[in-house]
Structure 1
Amino acid sequence: MSFGEATTRGRPSGAASCPCGSGARFSACCGPLLDGAAADTAEQLMRSRYTAFALRDEPYLARTWHPATRPRALDLDPAMRWIGLTIERARGGADDDTGVVEFRARWRAGSAGGELHEVSRFERRRGRWVYVDGITDETPA
């Protein structure tokens, strides 16, 4: 799938819990961001990107990736299921132009599983947060 193709596969109903694990309804959490609303904080953008990975929403991932570091294509593994997110620390609010979010994201692919630990950098461009890059550490479960 290219970044230009939209996806609605498996999109939660508005009343369902948000995949990002915030405890809020999808319609009040990541749903509006995936539909085009701007994130107020770097953490909100990170949570919405986790949700986009879980839903395989490549166009959203492309829109929220800094153009200098965005790959030309992102081939998401259809067997991979993102099953949990923990935010370790976050910096970057409404008055900041840069932010950092450290998180742990758990995944399963068939009988395999693991955890992605990343310290992500974010930047505000033209009033909107974008993902710049991250330092990762992935460990099998």
Structure 2
Amino acid sequence: MKKLSPNAPCPCGSNQKYKKCCAIYHKGALPKNALLLMKSRYSAYAVGDSKYIIKTTHPNNPDYTDDTKSWKESINAFSKHTQFLGLDLLEFIDGEEEAFVIFKAKLSSGDMVEKSRFLKLGNRWVYESGVVKEM
């Protein structure tokens, strides 16, 4: 994991300290909606928390695999070689069991716009899939 001071601004762009924002989810608190989950996943990539990414990915997701060792290595490589420069939230469609977030992630490799689909499994939200939109 990348070192990020608990007092540093949270990568999700909330203007809160990391320790008061996404770190609480990375340590086990459940985000109450899909928007908070999406923001905490962006921050997890930014700090290289591959365990959180895996834990919050739906088994239907194309990246999901039981080979967590290689999956972790892939996430860690992406996080290590990418700078996470900002997050713009474009749309949030909330629902009881299904929700969508459209966001723009500003990355060192270029901006990416994605429409993410989240599903509720039991009492927790997970990332099911995403469609990257052309810019």
> Could you say which TM-score interval applies, normalised by the shorter chain?
0.7 to 0.9
1:11 is aligned to 4
The range that moved more, 96-105 or 71-80, is: 71-80
Q: Equivalent residue of 1:83, what SS?
A: strand
2:44 is aligned to 52
Structure 1 residue 138, shift from structure 2 partner: 6.0
RMSD: 1.6
Q: Of Structure 1 and Structure 2, which has the larger fraction of its residues in helix?
A: 2
CA contact (8 A) 1:115 1:138 kept: no
Mapping for residues 53-92 of structure 1, pairs under 5 Å: 53-69=45-61, 70-72=63-65, 73-74=71-72, 75=74, 76-77=77-78, 78-92=80-94
Q: What is the rounded CA distance, in whole Å, between the counterparts of 1:16 and 1:44 in structure 2?
A: 19
CA contact (8 A) 2:58 2:64 kept: no
Structure 1 residue 23, shift from structure 2 partner: 1.1
Would you say how many aligned residue pairs link Structure 1 and Structure 2? 125
Identity of aligned residues (%): 32
The range that moved more, 75-84 or 128-137, is: 75-84
Q: What is the rounded CA distance, in whole Å, between the counterparts of 1:131 and 1:58 in structure 2?
A: 14
Q: TM-score, normalised by structure 1?
A: 0.82
Runs of 4+ in 1 over 3 A off after TM superposition: none
Structure 1 residue 24, shift from structure 2 partner: 1.5
Q: What is the rounded CA distance, in whole Å, between the counterparts of 1:92 and 1:123 in structure 2?
A: 11
1:117 is aligned to 113
Q: What is the rounded CA distance, in whole Å, between the counterparts of 1:48 and 1:24 in structure 2?
A: 13
Structure 1 residue runs of 5 or longer lacking an equivalent are 1-6
Structure 2 residue runs of 5 or longer lacking an equivalent are 66-70
